Structure 1
Amino acid sequence: MNSLQTAGVVLTLAGVAGYVVGVLAPYPGRGFSVAGVMVGVTFLSLGGVSR
């Protein structure tokens, strides 16, 4: 697993956790968790592309 895939996994997990916490207790900026998931999934998919 390369660094881009690792960053993707971390961002995706952090985004999902932020979303779950935001559903349970709304906090300012919780919409950024959705963006974190999108960027994380993108990094995860691009991490496996050979150059």
Structure 2
Amino acid sequence: MNTALAAGLAFTLAGLVGYLVGVAAPYPGRAFSVTGVMVGVTLLAIGWGGDSA
């Protein structure tokens, strides 16, 4: 499995879980979950892009 794809999946899932927990019970630093989702989606796009070069 591609490293960027695996990291993107992990960041996206962790960010989504953090966001959902933050909606239910506010906690300090919950805004970083949105950053985690953005980084995760970016890494997913890089991982899915493949090595066409």
What TM-score does the superposition give when structure 2 sets the normalisation length? Answer: 0.90
- 1:1-51 paired onto structure 2 within 5 Å: 1-49=1-49, 50=51, 51=53
Q: Which runs of 5+ in 2 are unaligned?
A: none
- Of structures 1 and 2, the larger Rg is shown by 2
Letter in 2 for 1:8: G
Identical-residue share of aligned pairs (%): 61
Q: How many residues align?
A: 51
* Deviation (angstroms), 1:38: 0.3
Give deviations 1:9-49, integer Å, cap 9, x for gaps. Answer: 00000000000000000000000000000000000000122
Q: Tell me, which stretches of 5 or more residues in structure 1 are unaligned?
A: none
Runs in 1 of length 4+ with deviation above 2 angstroms?
none
Separation in 2, partners of 1:30, 1:4: 24
